[in-house]
A and B are shown apart, each in its own frame.
Chain A
Amino acid sequence: MALVALRRGAQLLFVLLAVTVLAFWMITLLPGDPAVQILGYGGDEAALAKVRNDLGLDDPFWSRYLDWLGGAVTGDLGTSYISSIPVAESLTGRLPVTLELLLLSQVISLGLAIPAGLAAARRAGGLLDRTLTTASFGLLSTPVFVSGVVLIMIFAVRWPLLPATGYTPFGTDPLENLRSMLLPSVTLAAGQLAVYARLLRADLIATLQEDYITLARARGLSPRRILWRHALRPSAISLVTVVGLNLGALIGGAVIIETLFGLPGVGRLLVEAILSRDYLVVQGGVLLVAVGYVLVNFGIDLLYGALDPRIRHAS
C-alpha cells in the first residue's frame, strides 16, 4: 500500500515537472524577440538589452528554467512588465471568480444531469428518453457564445431581470454576487449538462443489463431504489472522469464566458495578457492551469477507489 502510494507520488511529480518544462519552453518558442514584443518596435537598444538581461534571455535554457522554477515553487512568478503587478498576485486575485463559476456550473449541470440520465435510462427508448436525448443534442450543439448571447438577450435585454455583464464580489453583496453569476453559470452548465446526461444514460443502460439488477428486481425493490442505490454508483466512473477533465480545464477559466459576461476571472486575465503580449502573465497562467489540471485528475484517480471497492482493493 505504501509502495503504491510512493509510486503514484513519483509519477505525479514526474508529470508535474514535465508540465512546468513545457510551460516554460513553450513561451520561448513563440516567434519574435520577447524584448521587442514587450517594448514595441520603437524601443532603443539599451532598453532592449536591459529587458533581455532581466528576463535572462541570454542565459542557457536550463539555467533560466531552474531560476524560473525556483521562483514558481516559492510563489514568485515574476512581475508583469506591462502592469508592474506581480504575476502571482494577479492570478490569485482572479482565481476566486473562476472557482465560483466552476463550482456553480458543476452544481447546476450535475444537479440536472443525474436525474435526467436516470429518468432516460429507466425506460430507454421511451418518450422521455427520446425527448431528453434530442434536447441534450441541441444543448450540446450550441456554442457557449451563442447560448450566452441568447440568454443575455432574453434575461437582460428583453426582460431586464439579471445583469448582462459585470461582477460583484461575494464579500460585497452575496445576493448581487449570485445574481451576477447566475447567467454565466447557467450558460456554462448548459453544454456540460448535455454531455453528463448522455454519458450517464449510456453507462446506466449497460449496468441495468447486469444480473444483480435483475436480482434486485426479483427482491421486489422499487425502480427508484434500484436506479439510485444499485445502478448509479457502478455507472458513474465515466461521468466522474469527464467531470474531472472539465474541472481541470476550467481552472483556466471559461475564457469565452468570462469575456462575454465581463467577469474578472483567470480566463480574462489570460486573454488580456495574450493580447498585450504580457509574457510572464501568460506563462504563469498556463502553469497554473496545467498544474491544476494534473492535480484535479490525480484526485479523480483516487476517487475511483471510493466509487468501486474492487479498484480500491486492487491497489
Chain B
Amino acid sequence: MRPDHPVQKRRRRFGWGFRLAALWIVLVVGAALAADVLPLPHYDATLAGEPRTGPSLAHPLGTDGLGRDMLSRIVHGARVSLGVGIGAALLGLLVGGPLGLLAGYRRGRTDRAIMTANDIVLAFPALVLALAVVAFAGSGVRNILLVLGLLGAPAWVRLIRGVTLSYAQREFVTAARALGARGGTVMWREISPNVVMPAVSYAFTVMAVIVVAEGSLAFLGLSVQAPTPTWGGMINEGRSTMDTAVHTVLAPSAVMFLTVLAFNLVGDRLQEMAGYRQSGLEPARRKRPAARPVLEDAVPVAPREGPAPLLEAAGLRTAFVTERGLVRAVDGVSFTLERGRTLAIVGESGSGKSMLIRSVLGLLPPGGVERSGRVRLDGRDLTDLGPEGMREVLGTRLAAVFQDPMTALNPVRTVGTQVTEPLRVHRGMSRSEAYAKAEELLASVGIPEPRRVLRGYPHQLSGGMRQRVTIAMALSCDPEVLFADEPTTALDVTVQKQILRLLHRERDGRDMAMVLVSHDLAVVAEHADEVIVMYAGRVVERGPADVLFTAPRMRYTEALLRAAPDLAAPSHTRLEVIDGRPPDLADPPAGCRFHPRCPFARERCTTEEPPLTEADGRSYACWYPAGTPTEPADLEGSVPHGG
C-alpha cells in the first residue's frame, strides 16, 4: 500500500538566507578587490562633497565630517577587514589544524601535553594581547594578521582535535591501522578528509570573529593607521558627528553587521549540512496543518453495545511524515482489555509494538507524526482530550514502564524527587507524605533500604533496582492500566524473572490491566491472557495466549514460535530463523505484507491483502493458514520467496 498522497520531499537546500549571505560576501569581496578601478572618488579626498551630507546620487552613502565619500571609504576599508579576516583564519588553521590532528589521533600523552599548553594560552586575554603587540610592534596589516591568526589557533586546535577524536575510533580508521598504514598516512588519507567539512564551516565563523576583532582594534585606533580607512575606525570617527549626521555611524555599522552576519550564516548552514533531526518537547504549531497529508480515519467504529471495556483501541493508526513518504508504524490496530488481564503484543523489532503503546498513550515524538483512530478508557474517548486533559489521565489512570532502566530515570535528580513527583503533582501530597508513601512503594516492589535509595541517585543502583524504581513510580498513583514496553529486555536473565513476577503480582493485587510488549514468547506464554501478533504495523493474529501458542494460524506467528527457544517442546529441536527482514514501512509489499518471507505464499498472497477474520474466539489474517484443510500447499502455485 503506497501513500495516498504524493508527499513532498523535504528539501535539503541552502535556503534563501544562505544565498543572500553568500551573495553579500561575493559582493563585498569583489568590491574590495576592484576598489582601485571602481569609479569612486579617492577615499582620502577631503571635500569631495559637502561635509556630513546624507546619501545622494553623487555620494550614495553620503560624506563624512571631512566631506570624504563614505562609499569609497567603506569599499577600501573592506580590504583591511576581509584581508585580515580571511588571512588570519587561514593562519590559525595552518597552525592549529596539524596540532589538533596530532592530539586527536595520538591521544594519550601527546594529547594531554598539547591540550594543557592550549589551555594555558587560552588563559591570556586575546584582545589585550593583540592590543599590546600592535601597540608595541606597530600596527601594520601584517602584524594584525599575525596576532589575530595566532591567537585564534587554540580554538582551531580544540575543534580539529574533537573531530579527529570522533573519527579516529571509527571502523575505517582502525581498519587502515590494522592493515599496517603508518600513522602519518592514516591521519592524512583517512582522517583529514572528514575534518574538512567542520573546518570549512568553522573557518567562516572564525572570519566573522576576526572581522569583529580587527574592527575592535580599529575602533580603539590601533589598526591600520590613517589615511587608510577601516570600518572600525570609521565608526569611531562617526561618533563625533552622530548627533548631526547619523549616516556617518550607520553606514559603516550596517556594512560591518551584514558582513559578520553573512559569515556567521554561511558557517552555521554549512555546519547544519551534517544535519540532525530537530524536534522539541511538543510539536511545532504549523500555520497550515492541512498542508500535510492526513491519515484517513479508519473504518468508522460503531459504539459497542453493553458495558464499555476498560481500555479499547479502535482502528488506531500512526504514521511519520518523512522525506520518503508516510511511514505507517501502526496501521489500523484494534483491541480491548479488561481489568485484571494482561494483553501481550509480540512481533519482531520494527513491527510497531512500541509505537502502538506510545500511540495509545499519546506520547509520540513531536513533529511530523500523524495519528488517527480512537482510544477509549472506560468508554471515554482519549483522542478527543487536549494535552491538558490527557495529562490528568497519564500517571493516574495509565502508567508506563520502558525497556531500558538505565535511561528511564533522570540522572541528575534524586530517586526520591522522582518517585514523589507524581504523588505531589497528581495527589497534592505534602513532601513528607509523599516520601512516606514512596518509601512504602519501594519496599513493596522489593527494594531493600528504601529510605537510603530515595536519598541517592539513579546511577548508584543496579539495572534491576532501577527497573523496580521505575515500576514503583508507575504504580505510585494506582493506575488502572500499566503499559510495560519490553520491561526486562535490558536486564540479566535472573533479574528478568523477578521483575516479571513482580509485575504479575502487582497486576493481581491491584486488579489492574497490563499491556506487555515483548519479543520473548516464553515470557508472553507465561504471563499473558491474550496475545496480539504484529507485523509491519498491522495485527496479523489475535487470540487467547494458550490457543495461539498451541495452534497458530497465521504463518508469521508459526514462524515466530519456531524461532523461539523453550517453547518448541524438546530442547534438541533445531531452532529456525525467519528468513529476510521486516519490510520497509514507507513502501510495504502489496498483498499480504509477510508474503516475501513466507514459505507458504502463493499467487493470491502477493496481490490481495488477507483481512483479519474472526473464528472460534480468535482472529488471523492469512489466506492459507496453518492447521486448516488448506495446509498441504500445492507447490505449483507458490511463488519464490526470500525478498
Q: Is the CB of A219 within 8 A of B421?
A: yes
State which of B175-183, B395-403, B434-442, B582-590 sits at the interface with chain A.
B395-403
Contacts of A212 in B (CB 8 A): 407-411
Q: Is the CB of B242 within 8 A of A141?
A: no
A218 at the interface (CB under 8 A from B): yes
Given the known A-B contacts A221-B425, A274-B135, A308-B412, are A129 and B284 also in contact in the complex, defined by CB atoms under 8 Å? yes
Q: Is the CB of B394 within 8 A of A219?
A: yes
Q: Is the CB of B132 within 8 A of A223?
A: no
Contacts of A127 in B (CB 8 A): 284-285, 287
Q: Is the CB of B422 within 8 A of A219?
A: yes
Q: Which B135-149 residues have C-beta < 8 A from chain A?
A: 135-137
Given the known A-B contacts A146-B235, A217-B394, A256-B220, are A310 and B459 also in contact in the complex, defined by CB atoms under 8 Å? yes
Contacts of B242 in A (CB 8 A): 149, 152-153, 157
B522 at the interface (CB under 8 A from A): no
Contacts of B220 in A (CB 8 A): 255-256, 259, 271
Contacts of A260 in B (CB 8 A): 219
Contacts of B235 in A (CB 8 A): 145-146, 149
Q: Is the CB of A219 within 8 A of B249?
A: no
A309 at the interface (CB under 8 A from B): yes
**Cβ contact of B411, chosen from A124, A129, A308, cutoff 8 A:** A308
Given the known A-B contacts A215-B470, A220-B396, are A293 and B123 also in contact in the complex, defined by CB atoms under 8 Å? yes
Tell me whether chain A's interface is mostly helix, strand or loop, or mixed.
Answer: helix
Tell me whether chain B's interface is mostly helix, strand or loop, or mixed.
Answer: helix
Q: Is the CB of B395 within 8 A of A218?
A: yes
B544 to chain A, nearest CB (A): 29
Contacts of A15 in B (CB 8 A): 116, 119-120, 123
Contacts of B387 in A (CB 8 A): 223
B165 at the interface (CB under 8 A from A): no
A248 at the interface (CB under 8 A from B): yes
A54 to B393, CA, bound (A): 81
**Cβ contact of B124, chosen from A138, A225, A286, A308, cutoff 8 A:** A286
A164 to chain B, nearest CB (A): 10
Point out which of A123, A127, A145, A229 has the most chain B C-beta atoms below 10 A from its C-beta: A145
A230 at the interface (CB under 8 A from B): yes
Q: Is the CB of A309 within 8 A of B411?
A: yes
A266 to B288, CA, bound (A): 54
Interface size of B by CB at 8 A reads 84
Bitwise, B406-419 to A at CB < 8 A (1) or not (0) is 01111111000000
**Cβ contact of B125, chosen from A137, A221, A249, cutoff 8 A:** A249
The chain B residue sitting closest to A123, CB to CB, is: B284
Contacts of B402 in A (CB 8 A): 211, 214-215
A249 to B285, CA, bound (A): 40
Given the known A-B contacts A122-B282, A137-B264, A220-B394, are A19 and B216 also in contact in the complex, defined by CB atoms under 8 Å? no
Bitwise, A241-257 to B at CB < 8 A (1) or not (0) is 00000001100100110
Given the known A-B contacts A122-B282, A255-B131, are A145 and B215 also in contact in the complex, defined by CB atoms under 8 Å? yes
Q: Is the CB of B391 within 8 A of A220?
A: yes
The chain A residue sitting closest to B268, CB to CB, is: A137
The chain B residue sitting closest to A288, CB to CB, is: B125
A29 to chain B, nearest CB (A): 9
**Cβ contact of A124, chosen from B212, B232, B279, cutoff 8 A:** B279
B157 to chain A, nearest CB (A): 15
B392 at the interface (CB under 8 A from A): yes
B634 to chain A, nearest CB (A): 50
A22 to B124, CA, bound (A): 9
B171 at the interface (CB under 8 A from A): no
A259 to B220, CA, bound (A): 8
B413 to chain A, nearest CB (A): 7
Bitwise, A116-132 to B at CB < 8 A (1) or not (0) is 00001111111101000
**Cβ contact of A230, chosen from B136, B287, B413, cutoff 8 A:** B413
Given the known A-B contacts A125-B367, A271-B220, A310-B459, are A294 and B128 also in contact in the complex, defined by CB atoms under 8 Å? no
Q: Is the CB of A274 within 8 A of B131?
A: yes
Contacts of B120 in A (CB 8 A): 15, 18-19, 22
Q: Which B241-289 residues have C-beta < 8 A from chain A?
A: 242-243, 246, 249, 253, 256-257, 260-261, 264-265, 268, 278-285, 287
A308 to B124, CA, bound (A): 29
The chain A residue sitting closest to B278, CB to CB, is: A124
A199 to B235, CA, bound (A): 30
Q: Which B618-633 residues have C-beta < 8 A from chain A?
A: none
Q: Is the CB of A219 within 8 A of B285?
A: no
B166 to chain A, nearest CB (A): 16
Contacts of B394 in A (CB 8 A): 217-220
Given the known A-B contacts A233-B412, A234-B410, A271-B220, are A123 and B395 also in contact in the complex, defined by CB atoms under 8 Å? no
If A123-B285, A220-B395, A252-B127 are given as contacts, then 10 extra A-B residue pairs at C-beta distance below 8 Å, sorted by A number, are: A15-B119, A23-B124, A126-B285, A129-B284, A145-B235, A217-B394, A219-B421, A220-B391, A255-B131, A307-B412
Q: Which residues of B contact A (CB under 8 A)?
A: 116, 119-120, 122-129, 131-133, 135-137, 208, 212, 215-216, 219-220, 232, 235-236, 238-239, 242-243, 246, 249, 253, 256-257, 260-261, 264-265, 268, 278-285, 287, 358, 361, 363, 366-367, 387, 390-396, 398-400, 402, 404, 407-413, 421-422, 425-426, 457, 459-460, 470, 473-474
A-B contact pairs, 26 of them (CB 8 A): A22-B124, A30-B133, A141-B260, A205-B279, A209-B279, A211-B404, A217-B363, A218-B361, A219-B394, A219-B425, A220-B392, A220-B394, A220-B422, A220-B426, A221-B421, A221-B425, A222-B391, A227-B281, A230-B413, A233-B412, A255-B216, A256-B127, A256-B219, A277-B136, A309-B411, A309-B457
5 closest Cβ pairs, A-B complex: A126-B284, A220-B394, A124-B280, A220-B395, A141-B261
